[in-house]
Amino acid sequence: MKIRTRMAPSPTGEFHIGSMRTLLYAYSFAKKHKGKFILRIEDTDRSRYVEGAEERLKDVIKEYGFSWDEYYVQSERLDIYRKHIKKLIDSGHAYPCFCSEERLKKMREDQQKKHLPPKYDRRCLNLSKKEIQEKLDAGESHVIRLKIPNDTDITFYDEVLGEISFPSKDIDDQILIKADGYPTYHFAVVVDDHLMKITHIMRGCEWVPSTPKHVVLYKAFGWEIPKFVHLPLLKEVGSNKKFSKRQGSVSAVDFLKEGYIPEALNNFLMFLGWNSGTEKEFYSLDEFIEDFSLDRVQKTDLVSFDRKKLLWMNGSYIRNLSLEEVWNKLNHWAQKFEVNLNKSKDKEFDLKVLSLVRERMRIFSEYNDSTGYFYDNSSLNRDFLHEYSGDPNKTKEILKNFIEDYQSISNWNFENIEHVSHNILKKHNYSPKEAFMTLRIASTGEKATPPLFDIFNLLGKEESIFRLESALKDC
């Protein structure tokens, strides 16, 4: 059997990070078995269609490092759905429904009052052929519904969850074709998955209750039923509810905008529903493709999306890449999301700046805040200049003494700066904290920075002393 998997997003908004996890699994499973991965845009819900969303979907999937072997758009396949719905009507597995929205709303309200599940009452199923034809000839608005079999159990096997069964009495006669002539998700997905020869359907476990409707359709057409793989949904750490944008980013593109590296995101997503059975935490995509198997997918409804762990993992990627690779990715991110990156005309200087801050950097969006003082000394925040010395006079004394001795350094480098600085401490009996924190704030405007002498070495003698003198004037 030639393995064929698919991802079928709707262009109704931004691509969800949970959908990217599902795409990762579907893509990897297909590639592991030398199969095909299909991208299909499910755009038949025209009321929710968002202009430009299709291109953004494709763009973010590419940014995460994925491609597809075949590409389809459902709105270009309407003739196919019309042909197949006629087969269902002719075989008695589907029927036209002429009920108005007002009647359906009243029916649902009555069911709610009686604490009954919302379900179509099949009024139009009892129409005669003559009545149906008269209504069609009169041009009455209508939908096409699926006729669910009576008094039976609809059973299917899930590759993760095992055998699942639903009584047909609990399943609604689902709308297959809407009044505008467009197919619903439930109809188009079955037709397309069959015609595209999809062998394994991977999706979130919220689709389990819909699967019996799809099974009924496969049987009505006499088609082979593909293998179902329902995956756990995402939740926040410590919560029992689905992932929510109230806690932070949920769309795949937002994580990229924040400055996460795609490879790190993919690595993190690999473990949201799957485990390797080992202690290994870092995977390339190729390694994951080789190791991925359905028998290690977790049998649970929800898995925790640990944002702190993602930050840690992304920081690890930043530290483990070469400096040149980080710089290239940083610049790609800045260009992609129109960020005015701190940089100069001297790439060697920029790389040295990056080398100093990347140990602390977790995401690219932290770069500008952590490097601003290297590129602009005009607005350094010195409001807390006296915090570590204890009083303005002591601050002035510290700055004067360091400026004086720093001016005597002929060969300005890390070793000489360090040597002279520690001699000043001994000479004037300063504590390292009061002296060096005062210098740090005076020269950078920050309390937390890379090592102070590394900063002075990179800024150079003239600029370092200029900043200390500027701070002295402000005392």
Tell me the pLDDT tens digit for each residue of 358-410: 999 999 999 999 999 999 988 788 888 999 998 999 999 999 999 999 999 99
**pLDDT, tens digit (0-9, with 9 covering 90-100), for 312-330:** 999 999 999 999 999 999 9
- For the ranges 17-21, 134-138, 246-250, the lowest mean pLDDT is seen at 246-250
Going from the C-alpha of 461 to that of each of 179, 285, 417, the distances in angstroms are 76, 46, 10
pLDDT at 348: 97
**How, if at all, do strands 175-177 and 143-146 pair?**
antiparallel
Res 241 pLDDT > 80? no
pLDDT at 247: 67
Where residue 292 falls among pLDDT bands split at 50, 70, 90? very high
**How, if at all, do strands 162-167 and 153-158 pair?**
antiparallel
Give the residue-averaged pLDDT of 55-73: 97
Task: Beginning with the edge strand found earlier in the chain, give each strand of the sheet holding 175-177 in spatial order.
Answer: 94-97, 143-146, 175-177
CA separation for the pair 216, 413 (Å, rounded): 77
pLDDT at 240: 79
- Looking at the chain, the number of H-run helices and the number of E-run strands are 19, 12
Say which residue, 302 or 379, is predicted with more confidence: 302
Q: Quote helix, strand, coil % in the chain, to nearest 5.
A: 50, 15, 35
Mean pLDDT, all residues of the chain: 95
Quote the pTM value. Answer: 0.93
Contact 29, 294 (CB under 8 A): yes
pLDDT at 245: 66
Res 84 pLDDT > 90? yes
pLDDT at 448: 92
Task: Beginning with the edge strand found earlier in the chain, give each strand of the sheet holding 153-158 in spatial order.
Answer: 162-167, 153-158, 227-231, 200-204
For residue 325, the SS3 value is: helix
Give the residue-averaged pLDDT of 83-96: 97
What burial class does residue 172 get, using C-beta atoms within 10 Å of its C-beta: 0-12 exposed, 13-18 middle, 19+ buried? Answer: middle
Buried-exposed string 119-148: b where 16+ CB fall within 10 A, e elsewhere: ebeeebeebeeeebeebeeeeeebbbbbbb
For residue 52, the SS3 value is: coil
Where residue 105 falls among pLDDT bands split at 50, 70, 90? very high
DSSP string, 227-290: EEEEEPEEEETT-SSB--GGGS--BHHHHHHTT--HHHHHHHHHTSSB--SSS-----HHHHHH
* Structure-token pair, residue 463: 């600029």
Res 29 pLDDT > 70? yes
| Catalytic residue set | 245
**pLDDT, tens digit (0-9, with 9 covering 90-100), for 122-160:** 999 999 999 999 999 999 999 999 999 998 999 999 999
Res 50 pLDDT > 90? no
pLDDT at 196: 98
pLDDT at 246: 65
Residue type, 465: I
Q: State what percent of residues in the chain have pLDDT above 90.
A: 90
Q: Provide Rg for the chain, Cα atoms.
A: 32
